[in-house]
């Protein structure tokens, strides 16, 4: 993948990742060869997946990289086929983003009045909505996207993977933005069933906007969950119904080019006043509820606020970004809700992705890490060690000793509680 050839100027740790990706890709080829031949995977769910993928892809049809009739990787093809249309439909938004991008100062000037007036005035709603990562400054990405989709020579030398299937190249926007649409009820332009019609069903993710998109009572806190950005037309394509036009990140990046360490702002607030998605309460729960209360002018006692030190979460890796984006699609296609089962499907799809498709997520993940490093220079993954109570190793071994327990079987295949065993596990 030519655009991944970051060896040149990227000094922010691309090399090791590229190696990893290369290895991954090599493995992937092998996996792709047999991913669809695994008899164990020819269970009910996988057949369901294959079915849904082959029919729901919106013109897909290449059948999963040589997977033949049983291929389940039409995700790639559908995504790819969606790309052109997505580009077309988001062209307006892109041009707007670019325009703003070229004049960040004006954007900044425009923005505040926009919010203060009302939320419906957002011709560029993605500016905030998009992302929980609005908190991210997007420092080096702003000029990465040109009208022709090519890289700007000034774009920090980071090879940006093109959004070939309508995915925002800087995923923060996507994975964190999709949840916005779960608040369909808030959006006058987004009928509650639109997601389902488009094959994207996001049940009960309403609370999730919280963490990643929670907006502060200050700064741009004027943006309420019902504000205009949620009225942004949803991408009409099945696999990206929740995606946002590039505008959000780009403009955000263009507008907020200064970083203040969020910790200096108290409780995870970025300079923009937007809490970083990775910042959560000590409880581990992302604090949308908390924030929501604040939005309702019911501030918590200061003591309590002070007592809650923000937890900076790890940046998402490539697969996590992919999961966040595709979860809704899988849920819709497979009518599954259990994350364990969904994640298994997503894991398989991940391996079925082409190198190019995966490369996009690796690239996005790399950017995430870069931003995370810039935002939290002193942060270490070790900081969060022990904050989650995880099963003991001993326990894990026990479970491994019984890989086909009914419980695991149910989780794996999303079976009902009544079904103790499924075929492949029997």
Partner DNA sequence: AGGCCTTTGAAGCAG
Partner DNA sequence: CTGCTTCAAAGGCCT
For the CB of residue 69, give the shortest distance to DNA in the complex, in Å.
23
Closest distance of CB 104 from DNA, Å: 28
Minimum distance, C-beta of residue 399 to DNA, in the bound complex (Å):
4
Interface positions, 385-404, toward DNA (CB under 7 A): 385-393, 395-396, 399
Q: Choose between 115 and 270: whose C-beta lies nearer to DNA.
A: 270
- Select the span of 3-11, 56-64, 68-76, 346-354 touching DNA (CB under 7 A): 346-354
Work out which of 94, 165, 270, 410 binds DNA, going by CB under 7 A: 410
Answer yes or no whether residue 338 interacts with DNA by CB under 7 A: yes
Burial class for 19, CB neighbours closer than 10 Å (0-12, 13-18, 19+): exposed
Contact between 327 and DNA by CB under 7 A: the answer reads yes
Compute the least distance from the CB of residue 349 to DNA, in Å: 9
Stretch that binds DNA, among 62-70, 137-145, 230-238, 274-282 (CB under 7 A): 274-282
How far is 344 from 127, CA to CA, in rounded Å?
Answer: 33
Closer of 112 and 381 to DNA (Cβ): 381
Give the one residue of 212, 229, 237, 291 binding DNA; rule: CB under 7 A.
212
Reduced 3-state DSSP string for the chain: CHHHCCCCCCCCCHHHHHHHHHHHHHHHHHHHHHCCCCHHHCCHHHHHHHHHHHHHCCCCCCCCCCCHHHCCCHHHHHHHHHHHHHHHHCHHHHHHHHHHHCCHHHHHHHHHHHHHHCHHHCCCCHHHHCCHHHHCCCCCCCCCCCCCCCCCCCCCCCCCCCCCCCCCCCCCHHHHHHHHHHHHHHCCCCCCCHHHHCCCCCCCCHHHHHHHHCCCCCCCCCCCCCCHHHHCCCCCCHHHCCCCCCHHHHHHHHHCCCCCCHHHHCCCECCCCCECCCEECCCCCCCHHHHHHHHCCCCCCHHHHHHCCCEECCCCCHHHHHHHHHHHHHHHHHCCCCHHHHHHHHHHHHHHCCHHHHHHHHHHHHHHHHHHHHHCCCCCHHHHCCCCCCCCHHHHHHHHHCCCCHHHHHHHHCCCCCCCCCHHHC
**Tokens in use for 142?**
């702003």
Q: How far is the CB of 363 from DNA (least distance, A)?
A: 10
Interface with DNA, residue 143, by CB under 7 A: no
**Cβ distance to DNA smaller for residue 10 or 24:** 24
278 binds DNA (CB under 7 A): yes
Among 101, 160, 274, 365, which residue sits at the site for DNA (rule: CB under 7 A)?
A: 365
Biggest CA–CA distance in the chain, Å, is: 64
Of 39-47, 81-89, 92-100, 317-325, the segment contacting DNA by CB under 7 A is 317-325
Residue 136 touches DNA, criterion: CB under 7 A: no
Q: Which is nearer to DNA, 275 or 277 (CB)?
A: 277
How many chain residues touch DNA (CB under 7 A)? 70
Contact between 10 and DNA (CB under 7 A)? Answer: no
Q: Is there binding between residue 324 and DNA (CB under 7 A)? A: yes
Choose which of 84, 112, 116, 340 interacts with DNA (CB under 7 A).
340
CB under 7 A: which stretch of 55-63, 99-107, 141-149, 406-414 binds DNA? 406-414
**Residue whose structure tokens are 């980071």:** 158
Closest CA to 232 of 324, 122, 131, 108: 122
Indicate whether 369 belongs to the interface with DNA (CB under 7 A). yes
Residue with smaller CB distance to DNA, 20 or 154: 20
Crossing angle between the packed helical segments 406-413 and 339-352, to the nearest 10 degrees: 60
Confirm or reject binding of residue 286 to DNA (CB under 7 A): yes
- For DNA, the closer of residues 218 and 384 by Cβ is 384
Residues found near DNA in the complex (CB under 7 A): 13, 16-17, 20-21, 24, 179, 202-205, 207-208, 211-212, 277-278, 280, 283-284, 286, 311, 313-314, 316-320, 323-324, 327, 337-340, 343-344, 346-347, 350-351, 358, 362, 365-366, 369, 380-382, 384-393, 395-396, 399, 407-408, 410-412, 416-417
């Amino acid at each position: 993948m030519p655009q991944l050839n970051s060896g040149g100027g990227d000094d922010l740790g691309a090399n090791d990742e590229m190696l990893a990706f290369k290895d991954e890709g090599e493995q992937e080829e092998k996996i792709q060869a047999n991913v669809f031949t695994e008899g164990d995977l020819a269970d009910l769910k996988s057949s369901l997946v294959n079915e849904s993928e082959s029919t729901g892809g919106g013109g897909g049809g290449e059948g999963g990289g040589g997977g033949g009739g049983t291929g389940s990787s039409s995700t790639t093809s559908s995504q790819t086929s969606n790309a052109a249309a997505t580009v077309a439909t988001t062209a307006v938004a892109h041009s707007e983003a670019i325009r703003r991008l070229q004049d960040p100062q004006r954007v900044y000037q425009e923005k505040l009045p926009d919010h203060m007036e009302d939320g419906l005035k957002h011709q560029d709603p993605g500016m905030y909505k998009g992302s929980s990562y609005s908190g991210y400054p997007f420092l080096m990405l702003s000029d990465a996207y040109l009208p022709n989709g090519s890289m700007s020579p000034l774009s920090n030398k980071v090879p940006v993977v093109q959004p070939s299937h309508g995915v925002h190249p800087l995923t923060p926007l996507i994975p964190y933005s999709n949840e916005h649409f779960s608040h369909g009820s808030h959006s006058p332009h987004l009928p509650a069933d639109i997601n389902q019609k488009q094959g994207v069903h996001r049940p009960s993710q309403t609370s999730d906007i919280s963490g990643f998109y929670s907006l502060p009572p200050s700064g741009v806190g004027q943006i309420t969950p019902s504000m205009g950005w949620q009225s942004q037309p949803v991408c009409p394509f099945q696999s990206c119904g929740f995606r946002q036009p590039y505008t959000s990140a780009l403009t955000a990046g263009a507008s907020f080019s200064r970083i203040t360490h969020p910790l200096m702002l108290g409780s995870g607030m970025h300079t923009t006043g937007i809490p970083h998605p990775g910042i959560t309460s000590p409880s581990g729960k992302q604090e949308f509820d908390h924030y929501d209360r604040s939005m309702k002018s019911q501030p918590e006692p200061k003591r309590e606020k002070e007592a809650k030190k923000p937890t900076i979460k790890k940046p998402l890796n490539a697969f996590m970004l992919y999961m966040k984006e595709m979860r809704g699609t899988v849920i819709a296609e497979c009518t599954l809700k259990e994350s364990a089962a969904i994640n298994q499907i997503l894991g398989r799809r991940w391996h079925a992705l082409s190198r190019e498709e995966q490369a996009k997520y690796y690239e996005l993940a790399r950017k995430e890490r870069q931003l995370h490093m810039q935002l939290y220079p002193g942060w270490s993954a070790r900081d969060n060690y022990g904050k989650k109570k995880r099963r003991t190793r001993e326990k894990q071994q026990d479970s491994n000793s019984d890989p086909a327990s009914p419980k695991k079987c149910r989780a794996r295949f999303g079976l009902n509680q009544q079904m103790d065993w499924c075929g492949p596990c029997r």
